[in-house]
Amino acid sequence: MIQAQELTKRYGSITALDKVSFDVAQGEIVGFLGPNGAGKTTAMRILTGYSPATEGTARIAGYDVAQDPIEVKRRVGYLPESVPLYGEMVVRHFLRYVSEIKGVPRHGLQAEADRVMSLCGLEHMGGRIIKNLSKGYRQRVGLAQSLIGNPPVLILDEPTVGLDPSQIIEIRQMIRELAHNHTVLLSTHILPEVSMLCQRVLIIHNGRLVAQDTMENLVGPEDGVVRLEVDARGPRDKVESLLSELDGVQRVKLDGAGPSFVVEAAADSDIQPRIAHAVVQAGYRLCGLRERARTLEDIFVDAISVDEGVQV
């Protein structure tokens, strides 16, 4: 449904997007993951026809974005990061207006506005002036405008940014329901959001696509590697060097700012009892030792550090 081939975008000497290629199949929810400034919004703007690519091609539903922008725009619902709304308009009138410019038949304008209001839980907000709505409701109105005309492809740029926790849950639930009938490309830098919503992830960093796979493949166990969370209390550098020197240990790193270490070792090295023994033998306290599944955070950090050539 979405095909991007070597998309490149340059602003003068700055390369915002560097030969990014990916496909999104019909009915998939794909997460576009990356830190701020990675190039997610740039890629989405190219796909929606807002801004042209410097090089490369993009096709949506078989139409080339550069050659047939109008056909592409008829088939895409786009929610930009900063939701563009006319504050002085009433919600219902705004949605009718969007229906008109989206090409909804004249006799169906009100029905379409009512349909998307119902989908987004805005039934009681139709008569409200947009600028008086809370941020959560404005986000819903933005989402509702992207659903006008029932486009097969939805491109959502940071749909939950700036919302409070309950609003985030509501919007995520809404996106999950929309995914039954739409192909969704969702950009975010909130990792749990991707885990919760997406079947596949594209990780973008410094304008380059550094990883893409299904959630199962990305989060699943790596061949022959076990990850352990070791909570050993003692001088950090000494504990770290003690763990690193054990046979079979491939990598030791601090787990954030906390006292725990993450140890990666060969799966067949029977490392757990040897870690326990070594820590206790060295006179340090062992407060926890458990196997840890690979999280999206790990994958993300790994992908970015590989891209930067940094060992984390």
Partner 1 sequence: MRSIWAVCKREFISYFTTPVGFVIVGVYALLSGLYFTGSFIIYARITQNPSSYGYDAIPEMEEWMLSPFLVLCGQLLMFIGPLVTMRLLSEERNKGTMELLLTHPLRDREIIFGKYLASLGTLLVLMLIVGFHLIIIGSFTPIEPVVLAFGLVTVFLMGAAFFSMGLFISALANNQVTAGTMTFGIALVSWILGLMGQDLPEAIPAPDTWPAGLVRAAEMVYAIFRELVVSLPLDAHAHELAEGIIYPHDIVYYLLFTSFFLFLTFRTLESRKWRA
Q: How far is the CB of 95 from partner 1 (least distance, A)?
A: 12
Which of 155/278 has CB closer to partner 1?
155
Q: Is 52 in the site for partner 1 (CB under 8 A)?
A: yes
Q: By CB under 8 A, is residue 88 in contact with partner 1?
A: yes
Residue 82 near partner 1 by CB under 8 A = yes
Name which of residues 90 to 129 contact partner 1 (CB under 8 A): 97-98, 100-103, 106
56 binds partner 1 (CB under 8 A): no
**Minimum CB distance to partner 1 smaller for 103 or for 235:** 103
Count of positions on this chain that bind partner 1 (CB under 8 A): 28
- Enter the DSSP assignment of 152: S
Which residue, 90, 85, 189, is CA-closest to 135?
85
Where b means 16+ CB within 10 Å and e means fewer, 182-205 reads: bbbbbbbbebebbbebbbbbbbbb
241 binds partner 1 (CB under 8 A): no
Q: Is 129 exposed, middle or buried (0-12, 13-18, 19+ CB in 10 A)?
A: middle
Strands ordered across the beta sheet of 153-157: 76-79, 153-157, 183-188, 29-33, 200-205, 208-214
Are 23 and 6 within 8 A, CB to CB?
no
Instruction: Please give the residues from 123 up to 162 whose contact with partner 1 meets the rule CB under 8 A.
Output: 145
One of 6, 27, 50, 294 touching partner 1 (CB under 8 A): 50
Task: Give the binding site for partner 1 (CB under 8 A).
Answer: 11, 48-52, 70-71, 73-74, 76, 78, 80, 82, 84-89, 97-98, 100-103, 106, 145
